Structure formats: C-alpha cells, structure tokens
Amino acid sequence: MAAGSADSVAVDLAVDDMSEPTGRVPRVEGGEPTGRIPRVDVDGDPTLAVRSPVIDMKHLWKTYRPGSLAVHALRGVTLNVDRGEFVAVMGPSGSGKSTLMHIMGCLDIPTSGTYELSGEDVSEMSENSLAHIRNREIGFVFQQYNLLPRLTAWRNVELPLMYARVPAPERRRRALASLQQVGLAERVDHRPTELSGGQQQRVALARALVTNPALLLADEPTGNLDTASALEILGLLQDLHRSGRTVVLITHEPDVAAVAGRVLRIRDGQIDSEEVAA
C-alpha cells in the first residue's frame, strides 16, 4: 500500500467524514492546565490510565520495492507511547521519520510486525477500516493547515463529525466548544483567508480535537509559523498534554522537540536514541 498524505486526510475529513521558528522555545514548567483546555477524563480518573499504551508497535518493518530494489524505510522498530504521554520524534531527511508517522497515523500499514492503537491491531486493516480508525481515534495537525477556504472556521472544525454522522446541532456545539478551547471563540465565522497563519493552525488543532481522539498526531505543526505563533501552538499542545491528552509531535527542530516529555531520535529506519525530560 502506498503511504497516505496530509491531502488524503483532508479528503477523508471533507468527503468521508513566513518563517521558521528561531531561538529556543521556552519550556513551560509543571502545574495545572491554564483553564483553557479541560482535563480529559479517562475511565473516571486520567491518572489511572497513564500506563495504558495508546501506541504499541512491535518489530515493525516497512519495505518499499521500486522495481527489483528493496528499500527498508523501517527496520524492526519497537515503540510504546503510553496514554497521557507527550512524545517527540526527531530524525533527518531519509531517516524513516515520515514513514513511521504514516504508519502511526494509520495512513499506511507495515510490511511486517504489529501495531496496536488503543488496544486494536491495525497492522493489516483494509483502507476503509483504516479511514474509520483515523476519524475515530486520531486527530491530525499538519504543517499545511488543510482548511477548506470556502468554509468558516467552525464549518472546517465540524468536518470529522460529518463523516461520523453526528447530528447537525451536536456538530455545531462541539465545533464551537473546540474552537473555544484553542482561543478562537471570537473567530468562529471567519474564513481561512481572514485568519493569520497561527489562527489557521489553531483551527486545524480544534478540528483535530473535535472527535475527542485517543491520539493527537502533530507533524511539523510549527513549520510554517513565525516564532510568536509557534510558541502559541506549542503552548496549546502542552496544555492539552497536561489535560490528559496523548500527543506525538514529529519535528526536525530540537527547540520544538524540547517541549515534549520524551524525545525519540530515528536514524536509518531504527530508533537511535531516547531522552526523557528531567
């Protein structure tokens, strides 16, 4: 199966359903959420579920065969991400980072090995089944915002709920609540062209949250933002983590990865190192 893309996810949502940051990103120290993001209640008490893995990968291989040549993009990757963790994945171009993200996001399946997402084996699912999993279990935030320009902010946010066949009044209620979480309560009727880059990314984040997914997967979410907007997005991701969300951040920027609680570095298709925040 060919790997999916950010555009394919945007189609899933709609049909089926500037500068780089500069300077070091200051780490937000511990404490309670700011109040902007409500705490996620997992089985009555989010602290009881922290050790339950959302992502459980064992001995994953991904091999592409352009003609007679075998290219091993992933080589026996074993990886767990527990519920409530904030994990960053770093790696240079060609390291296998994008392939890992595609499999993690159910945009592709491994050649061999197993991948369980929230306890469900997705390693050999059909494309239709994977589309349902993506809509139900994963919230995506990409470098490109993937907003539909003709729709207002809240209409963009409700798209995953349309695919899930949520009734219109409930869709609107949840979309507005999600936009309020990311600080855009006053911009719900604005179209993307009427919003700044940082505001558009916050709309994309609200869309990722509206289904209450098990996993928030952010792929280079600050790549198109200036420093101030990047800090706002990273601050929101930290708030979401503190509220009990499971967040995986894909980045090539050490300063961006520094906001996570655990940093994995991938090289030549393998996990090369792991750092846990002090």
Cα separation, 20 vs 23, in Å, equals 10
Residue for token digits 């709609």? 14
Cα separation, 179 vs 215, in Å, equals 18
Least confident span in 5-14, 52-61, 183-192: 5-14
Span 10-29, average pLDDT: 40
For residues 243 and 277, the answer to whether their CB atoms sit within 8 Å is: no
In a domain, 141, yes or no: yes
Model confidence at 66, in pLDDT bands (50, 70, 90)? confident
pLDDT (0 to 100) of residue 238: 95
CATH number of the structural domain spanning residue 134: 3.40.50.300
In a domain, 189, yes or no: yes
In a domain, 70, yes or no: no
In a domain, 65, yes or no: no
pLDDT in tens, 197-247: 999 999 999 999 999 999 999 999 999 999 999 999 999 999 999 999 999
List the structure tokens of 146.
């993937």
User: What is the span of the domain harbouring residue 218?
Assistant: 6-23+32-52+82-112+126-276
In a domain, 64, yes or no: no
In a domain, 75, yes or no: no
Q: How far is CA 27 from CA 91, 132, 234, 256, 259, in A?
A: 21, 35, 9, 9, 6
pLDDT in tens, 111-137: 999 999 999 999 999 999 999 999 999
Amino acid, single-letter form, for residue 263: V
pLDDT (0 to 100) of residue 278: 64
pLDDT (0 to 100) of residue 277: 80
Span 161-187, average pLDDT: 95
In a domain, 117, yes or no: no
Q: How far is CA 23 from CA 92, 112, 141, 220, 261, in A?
A: 20, 40, 23, 17, 20
Model confidence at 67, in pLDDT bands (50, 70, 90)? confident
Q: How far is CA 273 from CA 91, 270, 276, in A?
A: 10, 9, 10
Pairing of strands 120-121, 112-117: antiparallel
Burial of residue 22, with CB atoms counted within 10 A of its CB: 0-12 exposed, 13-18 middle, 19 or more buried: exposed
Span 132-145, average pLDDT: 94
pLDDT in tens, 100-110: 999 999 999 99
Q: Which residue has the higher pLDDT, 161 or 277?
A: 161
Domain count, the chain: 1
In a domain, 149, yes or no: yes
Cα separation, 28 vs 24, in Å, equals 12
pLDDT (0 to 100) of residue 51: 63
